[in-house]
Homo-oligomer: A and B are copies of this chain.
Amino acid sequence: MLIGPDAPIAFESKLRGSHMAHVYDFYKPNLASEYPVVDGKLSQTCYLMALDACYKYFCHKFEKLEGKQFSINDAEYFVFHSPYNKLVQKSFARLVFNDFTRNASSVDEAGKEKLAPFASLTGDESYQNRDLEKASQQVAKPLYDAKVQPTTLVPKQVGNMYTASIYAAFASLIHNKHSALNDKRVILFSYGSGLTATMFSLRLREGQHPFSLSNIASIMNVGEKLKSRHEFPPEKFVEIMQLMEHRYGAKDFVTNKDCSLLAPGTYYLTEVDSMYRRFYAKKPKEAPCENGAVANGH
């Protein structure tokens, strides 16, 4: 991350709402395994509760600062920590439901009518109610298409990137909308299991070359990177995952040193010796690999 004056992406540091709680929703207690222990239902409820809490503090800060009620319409885009897209849809619908209960301007009369049956649910009930989920997603649909859909490209195409997912979503937005982001507010919701969450706000502007949004979009080159991916049959994927599980934390092995699919300049593991010491090689810039394959990275 580069920090400097006249940034094209600036934090609105007074607009920030945070929430923490001690929960076992998604964690890695088994150090010998690469995989986490996940309580899926709890994790989703925790995420939505954290979203509610952060949004509440965020709105409070905005209202103190600006002297008027905040609504979803006060931001152009919403970017979420994105383990899977369905949760992003639910989350944005949850913000719309929040605006409904707050009587904020983003929900029109038709929307209010659809959500009215759920107005008296307790918080706990509302997290489990499928009808509310469906109704609020319906009401949210036009706003979701305008304010969230442009942020979903990379998380949908790549799958769960964990910590990186919020920035993969933000990169998707810059990729899709770079020429239309000048002076726009973007609100991000960051979530880490365990848990700690923050909703924060960015103000974008085109900026000066080379630190302009259009140059950032061009250098990220998201479209080409997605296109340059390689397709594998599921059997090959399973085989690679099994090798990875077998070698996680292991010693005394050499890799096949096949770097044909790596980008030029990438470091890759060649060996872990009997003392667990790790050895790496670097793929040359546009030159043949050790196994004779020709470099074809991005």
Q: A residues within 8 Å of B by Cβ?
A: 24, 27, 29-32, 37, 39, 249, 251, 275-277
C-alpha gap A275/B30 in the complex (Å) = 10
- CA of A264 to CA of B249, assembled, Å: 39
Instruction: Tell me which residues across on chain B come within 8 A of A275, comparing CB atoms.
Output: 24, 37, 39
Residues from chain B with a CB closer than 8 A to the CB of A39 are 275
Q: How far is the CA of A87 from the CA of B30 in the complex (A)?
A: 35
CA distance A275 to B43 in the complex (A): 14
Closest residue to A276 on the B side, CB-wise?
B29
B29 touches A251 (CB 8 A): yes
Neighbouring B residues of A30 by C-beta, 8 Å? 249, 276
Copies in the complex: 2
In the complex, A268 Cα to B29 Cα: how many Å?
18
Rounded to whole Å, the gap between the CB of A64 and the closest CB of chain B is 31
- Chain B: which residue is nearest A273 at the CB level? B24
The majority secondary structure among interface residues of chain A is loop
Closest beta carbon of chain B to A69's beta carbon, Å = 40
Q: From A23, which residue of chain B is reached at the shortest CB distance?
A: B277
The reply to whether A249 and B24 form a contact with Cβ atoms under 8 Å apart is no
B residues near A37, Cβ cutoff 8 Å = 275-276
CA distance A277 to B276 in the complex (A): 30
Closest CB of chain B to A272's CB: distance in Å?
Answer: 8
Q: Are B31 and A32 in contact (CB under 8 A)?
A: yes
Q: Which 5 A-B pairs have the closest CB atoms?
A: A29-B276, A31-B31, A32-B32, A24-B277, A31-B249
Chain B residues with CB below 8 A from A31, complex form: 31-32, 249
Residue of B nearest to A27 (CB): B276
Distance of A164 from chain B, by nearest CB (Å): 22
Since A24-B276, A31-B249 are in contact, a sample of 7 more A-B pairs with Cβ atoms closer than 8 Å, ordered by chain A residue number, is: A24-B275, A24-B277, A29-B249, A30-B276, A32-B32, A32-B249, A37-B276
Task: Write the chain B residue with the least CB distance to A248.
Answer: B31
Q: How far is the CB of A24 from chain B (nearest CB, A)?
A: 5
- Tell me how far the C-beta of A36 lies from the nearest C-beta in chain B, rounded to whole angstroms: 11
* Closest CB in chain B relative to A26 CB, distance in Å: 11
Q: Which residue of B lies closest to A31 (CB)?
A: B31
Q: How far is the CA of A249 from the CA of B37 in the complex (A)?
A: 13
Q: Once bound together, how far apart are the Cα atoms of A249 and B249, in whole Å? A: 15
Q: What are 12 A-B interface contacts by the 8 Å CB criterion?
A: A24-B277, A29-B249, A29-B251, A29-B276, A30-B249, A30-B276, A31-B31, A31-B32, A32-B249, A37-B275, A37-B276, A39-B275
Question: Which residues of the other chain, B, contact A276 by a CB distance below 8 angstroms?
Answer: 24, 27, 29-30, 37
The winner among A29, A39, A251, A275 for most chain B CB atoms within 10 A is: A29
With a cutoff of 8 Å between Cβ atoms, the chain B residues found around residue A29 in the complex are: 249, 251, 276
